[in-house]
Amino acid sequence: MVEPIDRYLKQIAEQGFAVIPDVFSPDEVERLRAAVEEVFAREGASTAHGKVRFSYNLTNKHATFRETVQHPLLMEIMAALLGDDFILAALNAHGSNAGAPRQFLHRDDMLDRRIPFPTHINSMWMLDDFTPENGATRVVPGSHLWDDKPVTDTVYPQETQATGTAGAVAVFDSRLFHSREANRSANQRRGVTAYYCRSWATRQEDYTRSTDPALLPEASPLLIRLWGFHNQVPWEEAGEPNVLRRLPAPGVPAIAHGG
Does residue 208 belong to any structural domain of this protein? yes
Is residue 154, in this structure, part of any structural domain at all?
A: yes
Residue 252 included in any domain:
no
Cβ atoms of residues 161 and 180 within 8 Å: no
Average pLDDT over residues 210-220: 94
CATH number, residue 203: 2.60.120.620
Cβ-Cβ contacts under 8 Å for 214 (sequence gap 6 or more): none
**Residue 247: inside a domain, yes or no?**
no
Give the tens place of pLDDT for each residue, 123-132. Answer: 999 999 999 9
pLDDT at 2: 62
* Mean per-residue pLDDT of the chain: 93
- Strand duo 52-55 + 87-96: pairing: antiparallel
pLDDT category of residue 232 using cuts at 50, 70 and 90: confident
User: Is 16 a domain residue?
Assistant: yes
257 part of a folded domain: no
Q: Is the pTM of this model over 0.85?
A: yes
Domain presence at residue 101: yes
Separation CA 204–CA 211 (nearest Å): 14
Count up the domains in the chain and report the number: 1
| Parent domain of 124 | 6-231
User: Tens digit of pLDDT for each residue in 190-203?
Assistant: 999 999 999 999 99
Q: Which residue has the higher pLDDT, 246 or 127?
A: 127
Give residue 237's pLDDT: 80
Distance CA 227, CA 238 (A): 26
Q: Taking 50 as the threshold, does the pLDDT of residue 259 lie above it?
A: no
CA distances, 165 to each of 13, 15, 157 (Å):
23, 20, 25
The CB-side HSE value for 234 (13 A sphere, CA atoms) comes to 16
In a domain, 216, yes or no: yes
**For residues 227 and 250, what is the distance between their CA atoms, to the nearest angstrom?**
12
242: pLDDT confidence band, cut at 50, 70 and 90?
confident
